Amino acid sequence: MTDLAIYDMDRTITRAATYTPFLLYCAARRQQWRFALAPAALGAMAAFGASAIDRARLKEINQHLLLGYALSDEQLKPLVEGFAEKMVRTNIQPGASRAIARDRAEGRRLVIATASYALYVDAIAERLGFDDVIATRSVRGSDGRLVARIDGDNCYGPAKKRMIDEWLAEQEIDRAAVHIRFYSDHGTDAPVFEWSDEPVAVNPNGSLKRLARERGWPIEDWSR
């Protein structure tokens, strides 16, 4: 059975986060008047900071404000393709490119597992040569349009580990029969780090750096 290399995306593969830039990219090219809704988006951020809403609800609100409540595939495709091209051209860490090439040469199945939305992660993953994506999914309305609601879990923290487990079951992959290398920058991915065979902390934030040092996990700088 083929071994796996599972990558977080934002600030692991990419230099910077992608979700807010994606919404701003879309608003700039589709409906610039949506920038006038920025105060409402800031209000949602404040509500999140005060724990009045969770991270998933914050994402839904901001998508509604900056992208619109419902869009067809025809409306989304040029935005997604253009954004993915921009990310691959300008926002990929050099170390990520090297790691992806090495893991591919070793014959590993390449997987992105990220809280970012699959609606654009799929396009980035395809361009980078990944085989599979585990990401936050969006609800589709009865008319087939993608709406500003999350389908299932926001792929973040413990939910990411659950979603990886579900994906393994769907793919009929026996966890005991594969070696799993996992890369991330963030301490919220601790459940996946602890579970993986070869955890690698990439440009880690403070909490992950402390955990990696405690556990003896390798720490890598992919920015150079």
Looking at the chain, the number of H-run helices and the number of E-run strands are 9, 8
pLDDT tens track of the chain, all 224 residues? Answer: 799 999 999 999 999 999 999 999 999 999 999 999 999 999 999 999 999 999 999 999 999 999 999 999 999 999 999 999 999 999 999 999 999 999 999 999 999 999 999 999 999 999 999 999 999 999 999 999 999 999 999 999 999 999 999 999 999 999 999 999 999 999 999 999 999 999 999 999 999 999 999 999 999 999 99
Query: What pLDDT was estimated at residue 12?
Result: 98
Query: What pLDDT was estimated at residue 101?
Result: 98
What DSSP element (H or E) covers 19?
Answer: helix 19-30
Give the predicted TM-score (pTM) of the model: 0.96
Q: How far apart are CA 99 and CA 78, in angstroms?
A: 29
Q: Exposed/middle/buried for 142, CB within 10 Å: 0-12, 13-18, 19+?
A: exposed
Residue 187 DSSP label: G
Complete domains list, the chain, with CATH: 4-220 (3.40.50.1000)
Q: Which residues contact 157 (CB under 8 A, 6 or more apart)?
A: 188, 189, 191
Query: What pLDDT was estimated at residue 1?
Result: 75
Query: What pLDDT was estimated at residue 130?
Result: 98
Return the axis-axis angle of helices 55-66 and 38-49, rounded to nearest 10°. Answer: 180
